[in-house]
Amino acid sequence: MLPVIQAKNLSIEYRIGKRWLNVIQDVSLHIDPVQIHGLVGESGSGKSTLGMGLMRYLANNAWISQGEILFDTYDLVKLSAAEMSKIHGRHIGFVPQNPLDSLNPSLTIGNQMAEMTQLHLGLSHKDALKRACEALETTNIPEPDAVIRRYPHQLSGGMQQRVMIAMALSTRPRLLILDEPTTALDVTTQAVILDLVRELMKEEQAAALYVSHDLGTIAQLCDVVTVLYSGEVMESAPVKTLFKKPLHPYTIGLLASLPSAAAGQNQSRLSTIAGVAPSLSERPSGCAFAPRCPVAIAKCHTDKPPLEKTTDNHFLRCWRWQDIASGDLIPKNPPIGKREETSPQPGYVLTAQHIHKTFSENSLLDRLMGKTARPVQALADVSIKINQRSTLGLVGESGSGKTTLARAIVGLDTADSGDLELLDMPVNLDLDKRGKEILRNLRLIFQNPNDALNPYRTVRETIGRTITLLAQETLSPINIENRIIALLESVGLTAAYADRYPQQLSGGEKQRVAIARAFSAKPALIIADEPTSSLDVSVQAVILNLLKDLRAENGASYLFISHDLEVIRYLADWIVVMYLGEIVEQGTNEQVSQAPMHPYTEALLSAVPMPDPTIKPGTIRLTGDIPGPRNKPTGCPFHTRCPRYLGDICRDERPPLREDEHGHVIRCHIPLEDLKQLQS
C-alpha cells in the first residue's frame, strides 16, 4: 500500500535576525491511506511547522533546506507556487486552530465554501452552494440552509470549526491536516468535533495528520502517533503500542506527568520531567533530550542516536531502548519531594453566601436616551464554603461563571449582593473598602503568567512590593530580601532569578514567580484561576506538585478553577460544578466522580478524552451550544442540552437542590436514586 504522503529526511529552517535556525531536523514520516496520524509535542517542538511544512505552506522567513515530500507522483519541495496552489485546498485540506481567524468575516459561510469548489472543481456558483449545503449536512450542523447565509461571527466556535472541516472536505482531498483543531473549544464541543473527524475520515476514505499537544485527544483519535521533541522525531508507533508500552524516556515522562495517570494509580504526586526544553538555537550536540533524561549516559550527551526500527512500525531515537524494552531500566523520575498530605480541617476559610452578579453594558448615551440593555446574569445565587487547609475545585465550561465568581470573591468585580466571610471576618464586596488583613489573606494567581507580571519590574521588585505592603510585621530591607530568596527557593527557583525581568523567564518560571508572589504575604486562601492552562503538560505537572507542597507547608487553602476535570480531580478535595452562573453539583472528589451525578457533570466526564486508547470514550454528547448568558434558559438552565431531559418540568421550574446524607448536592429534577440507576 502506497502512503498518501511521505516525507523523507525533511529539514526546515527559519531565519531569525541574521541567523538560520534549524526548526525541523531530518524528519521522516509517512501517512497511509485512511489513517489518522497524530503529531504530538510540547510548545516549541516544531509540530505546527512540520504540519504546515508537509503541505509546503511556510512563513516567509522559513524554507525547506533538505529532504523531499512525496505526494502522488510529485515531490512537493520541487513544485512551483502556481502548481502548489492547485494542490492546496484541492488535494490537501487544512483545518486551523482558530477558525475565526481563517474565515473571511465579510463573506457568508455559503459563499466562502462555494469559492473552494468553484475554484478547484469548476462548479457553477449554484452547484457550489448546493455542494456547500451538503458538506455542512455531513457535519451534523442543524439547518445547513440557514447556516450558509450567515456570517462567521454569527456562529459559535464549535460551529465555525465544523464549517472549516466541511470546507476542507468539500473538495474531497486525500489528505487533511488538522492543526490543534479543538484546543480553543470546550471539552464537550471538542468531543463532538472529534467524533465528527473520526466519522468523516472513514466516510471520505481520506488520511489525516492531526497535530496536537493533548495526549488525550491523540489517544482517542489517531492510529499512529509520532512524538516530536526539539524538531526531531523521538518515537513513532501505532497508538496502542505507544500508549501501552512507550519506549522513549521522553514519551514515558510525558505520559507519567498527566494528572489522569496519577489519579489512576492513586498517586499523591505527579512525576515530572526535569529541566526545560532546549531553545532551538542551542540544541545539545548529542541526543536532544539527554539534558532532561533521567537515564542519560555519557554517550547520550555526545552522540546523536539514530532513528531505529525496533519492531514493525515502531521507530525510536534512543541509545538505551533495549534496556528499557527489556524492563531493566525504568526511565521515570520517581515522584520525589515532600509527600506530606494535608487533609481538610474543620472550620471554614471562606464562606460565600448567595452571591449575585449581573453585568450591564449601558453607555452614558443609552442611559440618557432611556435605553437599557438586558443585563447579563453571570452569577445567580452562588454559595460555596472552603474548609481550612483544603482545595475547592471549581469546574465548568467557558461562560459558566467560574472566573466571575473568583473575581467577585477577590473583589476585582464587585458582586451585586451576597455575603462573604473570610476567617470569620466579614468581607466587604467592594475591593476599595477592604482592609489590609483581608487583602493579605486573599491572593490571586492568574491563568496567563505573561500578563500577571509587570514587564518593567524585576522579580525582586514584584515580590518585594507585596511583602512591603501586606506583610503582617514591618520588615527591614535585609529581612525582605531574605524572604524573597526563601520564596524563590520554595518555588524551585534560585536567588539569581531575583534580578531578572519577566521577558527573561519561560512560561513555567513566570508562573512560579506569580505563585511565589501569591504566597509572599502568607495568605489564608489563594484563588488560582486556571493557573496551568497555558502551560505544557510537563510544566503543568511541576506546578501542580508545587501547589500541593506549598499548601502542606503553609497551611493555605485553594480555590482552584479549571476547565480540565482531570486537573481538578487530581488536586481538589471538594468539587463544585458550575453551568451558566449556577452551581449544579457539589461534593467531595469521590462523590462527584461517581453516580449519582448531575447530567451535566456526567456529560463533562464522558467528554474527557483519556490518554489511553483502550479506554473507550464516553458516549454522552451534548447537542447544541452553550446558550449565551443573555438568553439564559428558563427553569433548569441546562434543559436545552440535557441528555436526560424529562419534559416540561425542566423547562418551567427551577430544579430543587437534592442533598444526600454526606453533603453531596445536586440541583436536578431527577431524584438521586433514579439518577444513580440511570447512570450505572
CB of 430 to other proteins, least distance (A): 12
Please, which residue, 125 or 371, has the CB nearer to other proteins?
A: 371
Distance CA 354, CA 415 (A): 10
Please, which residue, 465 or 654, has the CB nearer to other proteins?
A: 465
Please, which residue, 413 or 625, has the CB nearer to other proteins?
A: 413
Q: Residue 520: what residue type?
A: S
Q: Which three cell numbers stand for residue 409?
A: 470573591
Please, which residue, 431 or 495, has the CB nearer to other proteins?
A: 431
CB of 288 to other proteins, least distance (A): 25
CB of 380 to other proteins, least distance (A): 24
CB of 158 to other proteins, least distance (A): 26
Please, which residue, 198 or 457, has the CB nearer to other proteins?
A: 457
Please, which residue, 314 or 517, has the CB nearer to other proteins?
A: 517
CB of 74 to other proteins, least distance (A): 36
CB of 462 to other proteins, least distance (A): 8
Using CB under 8 A, list all residues that contact other proteins. 363-365, 410-412, 431, 434, 436, 439, 442-444, 446, 448, 451-457, 462, 465-466, 469-470, 503, 517
CA distances from 182 to 2, 97, 193, 371, 461 (A): 30, 7, 7, 39, 39
Distance CA 190, CA 607 (A): 8
* 3-state SS string for 106-172: CCCHHHHHHHHHHHHHCCCHHHHHHHHHHHHHHCCCCCHHHHCCCCHHHCCHHHHHHHHHHHHHCCC
Please, which residue, 118 or 448, has the CB nearer to other proteins?
A: 448
What number of other Cβ atoms are within 10 A of residue 161's Cβ? 30
Please, which residue, 440 or 667, has the CB nearer to other proteins?
A: 440
CB of 507 to other proteins, least distance (A): 13
CA distances from 207 to 36, 70, 224, 435, 609 (A): 6, 15, 11, 61, 21
Long-range Cβ contacts of 588-591 (<8 Å, 24+ apart): 588/662, 588/663, 588/664, 589/393, 591/662, 591/664
Burial profile 217-243: b = 16 or more Cβ within 10 angstroms, e = fewer: bbbbbbbbbbbbbbbbbbbbbbbebbb
Q: CA nearest 513: which of 451, 442, 469?
A: 451
Please, which residue, 345 or 503, has the CB nearer to other proteins?
A: 503
Distance CA 327, CA 276 (A): 27
CB of 450 to other proteins, least distance (A): 8
Contact between 231 and 23 (Cβ < 8 Å): yes
CB of 466 to other proteins, least distance (A): 6
